[in-house]
Structure 1
Amino acid sequence: MQQNHSLKDTIAAIATPLGSGGVGIVRLSGSRAKEIAKQLFVSSREAFSDFRPYTMHHGWVHDRNGAKLDECLAVFMPGPGSYSGEDVVEFQSHGGPVVVRTVLEAVLASGARAAGAGEFTYRAFVNGRMDLTQAEAVAEMIAAPTRAGMTLAQAKLSGALGEMIAGLRAKLEHLRAQLCVAVDFPDEEIECLSPEEFLQETQSVGESIAALLKNFHRDRCWREGALTVLAGQVNAGKSSLMNALLGRDRAIVTDIPGTTRDYLEEAVNIDGLPVRLVDTAGIRETEDTVERVGLERSKDMAQKGDLVLLVIDRTREILPDDISLAQDLGPERVLVVLNKSDLFDENGHGESAEAVDAGWFERAGYQCVEISARSGAGVDALCVAIRERIVGRSGEPDAGELVPNLRQSQAMESAVAELEALATDIRAEIPYDLLGVRLETVCDIMGEITGEIASADVLNSIFSDFCIGK
């Protein structure tokens, strides 16, 4: 968002997604919102004289020349009791993209300025309608990949995280005030906080922040999606498996080795769990420079994965590279997928070959699931196994659980590190005036989380990721 725009401007944008729909909304916010709306709106009621707040008014929206554009509903929400804290008007017209765009053009021609990304929410933040954690929660709600992600965002949208951080900061500010008394009046008989009590109070705050950080790491997969990597030999069926999991042809499937030369990533929802599926280049010896680069990327991606699906072709010999990859990652991160089960009967006999014995993996403690990516047999059971493996480590998110985002967690890590250094200084009997400097630093970090202290660069970074119209 461009912060060189004046907050005195009245802004407008389309607030509904692009494309055809039943309703399209054009939103205005600012001191001239109502004035512009009265210029363009003609009520279907003869007795209409002004907008009644928070009431839907039926009529037609016109351009500045009086030409009728569309039948619509109009609503006026006066500040500060609106989303942005300013006067807000919404025109709700038919949802055709041309219709909505035409209404917006009429609004802009009447004196409004096109809103930047996130500018409505930025104004809500500036006007005290929400703190920075709530503003970020708005974007997280919109981008939530599953209902679980939406629930996590809702807890912060209520302001609970901001209130908790503000409360912890207030405790630290109280300690700062006590330190100032001890420094400014060293010879007075004023009851001061003892080093033991000081240490206890700061450690209590540090433990509360650490608990939030634990939530961040535990519930990361519910916010970002669990990174699940498909690995294995060329032509083992990784691309076919990815298509089977997605329910559509996304990866190219051929009998030619090395078709997948880089990794492909797609998102899939497995019973409420967001999963980022990554199809990687097949393992094999190659002189192709591009394919070798793809293989290196595949190995790197496997190391980063929350779960690796090691796809084994039951018709071919298991190679040392398969076993080596499994050993490098360990049974906790590898789920062995025994593909092409449709080619064999229940005894492992096929028309042209015997099923390769994959017993080494089971004996070594690796979970194995038999499937046929081509027919779909066993894919549902594989989805269950994927979800159980990932959720088994993180657990289901609790309703109302406070989970910071990446920016917030990085600030919290800095605060915890500073508090740990402060504890060391307290034990070393460092003078109170120097302890106060560390305490001030922690308070500033906590203020950055809620936006009480935030640079223009931080705000631009946050609100530029918003969609236009929010």
Structure 2
Amino acid sequence: MSKPSLTDTIAAIATPLGKGGIGIVRLSGPLSAQIALKLFKPAREDFSLASHRFCFGKILHPENGSFIDEAMVAFMRGPRTYTREDCLEIQVHGGILVLQEVLDVVLSLGARLAQPGEFTLRAFLNGRIDLPQAEAVLDLVEAKSGSALRVAREQLQGALSEAIANWQAIIQEALCLAEAAIEFPEEDIPEAHPEGILRLIQAVQEDLRKALESYSKARLYKEGAVILILGPVNVGKSSLLNKLVGFERAIVTEIPGTTRDLVEEFLEWKGLPIKLVDTAGMRPAQDPVEALGQKLVEKKLESADLLVWVVDASSPVPPELGRCRDWVPMRPSVVAWNKIDLQERLKPQELPAALLGVPLVRVSALRGWGLEELLDVIHRELVGQQELPERVIASTRHCVLLEQCLAHLKEAVKLLSSPKHWLELVAEELKQALSAIDELLGKESDQEILRAVFSRFCIGK
């Protein structure tokens, strides 16, 4: 993202491309009112471009007066807008050709096409929202579950920013006391004693630690858990996937090795988004295509959150299942003890040693037996029994910066706990902790950070 100019008027199609009842072209910047007057012909003769009011009329081409579409137009004068600038929304019928023609006319009148996320970037640069709130806008749009939606809403409303501001204020107080003790050592300032500074820092430390503990669980609710379905050929992996998602997503035949590529499908269970990944069966590759599929499984393992080992309870343990000894220690695992609708010829204690301590659920992928229990166990292994706490850290960027802050606070506590206290070094650690918080809130964000955040947005948001 190049450095944006806040003096430009930007425009973009704000609704998804394709057919729809309504399509919206939005503008932000000083030319918004001027452009509205040039292309909009109101239905009412007593029309005036009042702020925050919808007006019905026609969009006409400014050069030849040709009719483009009927429209509802709303002009909104800053700063009471999303970007704190003058804004214009043009609502026309939701066809891509109509929307594109309206956008082309808007651009011909002096606006430029917005960069991805530039409307929200302007809201940030103009001080309407901070960086965590800006990120929450994207999280709100991309939420995959009700829990992720709740976290995004709370972050957008400023719950996380408020907590961070509280931590920041306490750290600043500790820094002021440390610097007072350094500058005026002859003065006996009770609050500036090392013990008082230490209490302040430890209070933030404990709060930060609890918030960071929520990250791994919150990330799963936000991004979704990746579940690999593993096992030898013909144990029912594809049948299990199909039954769990409720339709024939993967091809199922009696021919061993039918699944060659990774087959992925989403479902949600108790608020947790889950991406199930059916994989090629474990056996010596019969051809280059099957070998390639097995390599994809090994690569996918790096991003997996949990492994489901499908075992055919009606057959002896195949030697290929022995590979689990290398993979089970890497990720949480669950055994799906499949084909219980047939006569069982296998006992759980005959499983490879690596799977003996793994939760085991008896299922029949053919009959649909035990699937809810399997999903319950998967849910429990990933996120436990407790619901998400009210204050969570769901962003990797936030987690990294808060961990940096916590590391500096820990070092400050270590220095304060030493006999000499080292207040000058303590003050430096506290400054570094505050710097990490400033970067999180966007107060010290350079162009690379802003580009990384806002480039993930769609154009028009």
Going from structure 1 to structure 2, the CA distance change for 1:441 and 1:383 (only over 3 Å counts) comes to same
Secondary structure in 1 aligned to 2:256?
coil
CA–CA distance in structure 2, aligned partners of residues 100 and 411 of structure 1: 41
CA–CA distance in structure 1, aligned partners of residues 112 and 385 of structure 2: 46
**2:391 corresponds to:** 401
Q: CA deviation at 1:150?
A: 0.5
Q: Name which of structure 1's ranges 19-28 and 237-246 shifts more when overlaid on structure 2.
A: 237-246
Q: Name which of structure 1's ranges 74-83 and 217-226 shifts more when overlaid on structure 2.
A: 217-226
**2:372 corresponds to:** 381
Q: CA deviation at 1:236?
A: 1.6
Going from structure 1 to structure 2, the CA distance change for 1:177 and 1:408 (only over 3 Å counts) comes to same
**1:427 corresponds to:** 417
Going from structure 1 to structure 2, the CA distance change for 1:390 and 1:226 (only over 3 Å counts) comes to farther
CA contact (8 A) 2:340 2:362 kept: no
Going from structure 1 to structure 2, the CA distance change for 1:393 and 1:324 (only over 3 Å counts) comes to farther
CA contact (8 A) 2:336 2:374 kept: no
CA–CA distance in structure 2, aligned partners of residues 122 and 383 of structure 1: 44
CA contact (8 A) 1:232 1:322 kept: yes
Hey, which bits of structure 1, 4+ residues long, moved more than 6 A?
A: none
Secondary structure in 1 aligned to 2:384?
helix
Going from structure 1 to structure 2, the CA distance change for 1:67 and 1:304 (only over 3 Å counts) comes to closer
**Residue 31 of structure 2 is aligned to residue 38 of structure 1:** no
Summarize deviations over 1:123-171 as a string: whole Å, max 9, x none: 0000111000100000000000012110111110001111211221121
CA–CA distance in structure 2, aligned partners of residues 304 and 271 of structure 1: 22
Q: CA deviation at 1:289?
A: 6.2
TM-score, normalization by structure 2: 0.90
TM-score, normalization by structure 1: 0.88
Summarize deviations over 1:392-438 as a string: whole Å, max 9, x none: 6163325x433341100111111111111111111223432222111
Q: How does 1:47-58 map to 2 (within 5 A)?
A: 47-48=46-47, 50-58=48-56
CA contact (8 A) 1:270 1:383 kept: no
**2:3 corresponds to:** 4
CA–CA distance in structure 2, aligned partners of residues 132 and 194 of structure 1: 35
Match of 1:58, as an amino acid? Answer: F
**1:229 corresponds to:** 228
Summarize deviations over 1:292-346 as a string: whole Å, max 9, x none: 565465356557643322112344322254366279638x94333233455x3xx
**Residue 316 of structure 2 is aligned to residue 317 of structure 1:** yes
Secondary structure in 2 aligned to 1:58?
strand
Q: CA deviation at 1:462?
A: 0.2
CA–CA distance in structure 1, aligned partners of residues 211 and 88 of structure 2: 38
CA–CA distance in structure 2, aligned partners of residues 158 and 238 of structure 1: 43
Question: How many residue pairs get matched?
Answer: 454
Q: How does 1:305-384 map to 2 (within 5 A)?
A: 305-322=304-321, 325=324, 329=328, 333-341=332-340, 344=342, 348=343, 355-360=344-349, 366-373=359-366, 377-378=368-369, 380-381=371-372, 384=375
Secondary structure in 1 aligned to 2:275?
strand
CA contact (8 A) 2:145 2:268 kept: yes
**1:351 corresponds to:** none
Give structure 1 stretches of 5+ with no counterpart. Answer: 349-354
CA–CA distance in structure 2, aligned partners of residues 392 and 457 of structure 1: 34
CA–CA distance in structure 2, aligned partners of residues 290 and 199 of structure 1: 62
Summarize deviations over 1:164-214 as a string: whole Å, max 9, x none: 112211211122222222222333455551111211211111111111111
Q: Name which of structure 1's ranges 387-396 and 410-419 shifts more when overlaid on structure 2.
A: 387-396
Q: Name which of structure 1's ranges 115-124 and 214-223 shifts more when overlaid on structure 2.
A: 214-223
**1:72 corresponds to:** 71
CA contact (8 A) 1:156 1:402 kept: no
Give structure 2 stretches of 5+ with no counterpart. Answer: none
CA contact (8 A) 2:335 2:358 kept: no
Secondary structure in 2 aligned to 1:56?
strand
**1:59 corresponds to:** 57
Q: CA deviation at 1:388?
A: 4.5
Going from structure 1 to structure 2, the CA distance change for 1:388 and 1:218 (only over 3 Å counts) comes to closer
Summarize deviations over 1:92-133 as a string: whole Å, max 9, x none: 111111111111111111111100100000000001110001
**1:416 corresponds to:** 406
**2:219 corresponds to:** 220
**1:167 corresponds to:** 166
CA–CA distance in structure 2, aligned partners of residues 19 and 97 of structure 1: 6
Secondary structure in 1 aligned to 2:41?
strand
CA–CA distance in structure 2, aligned partners of residues 92 and 304 of structure 1: 42
Q: CA deviation at 1:445?
A: 0.2
Going from structure 1 to structure 2, the CA distance change for 1:45 and 1:117 (only over 3 Å counts) comes to same
CA–CA distance in structure 2, aligned partners of residues 389 and 192 of structure 1: 46
Q: CA deviation at 1:261?
A: 4.0
* Seq. identity, %: 36
CA–CA distance in structure 1, aligned partners of residues 179 and 357 of structure 2: 62
**1:463 corresponds to:** 454
**2:148 corresponds to:** 149
- Superposition RMSD in Å: 2.6
CA–CA distance in structure 2, aligned partners of residues 235 and 214 of structure 1: 40
Secondary structure in 2 aligned to 1:128?
coil
CA–CA distance in structure 2, aligned partners of residues 190 and 219 of structure 1: 43
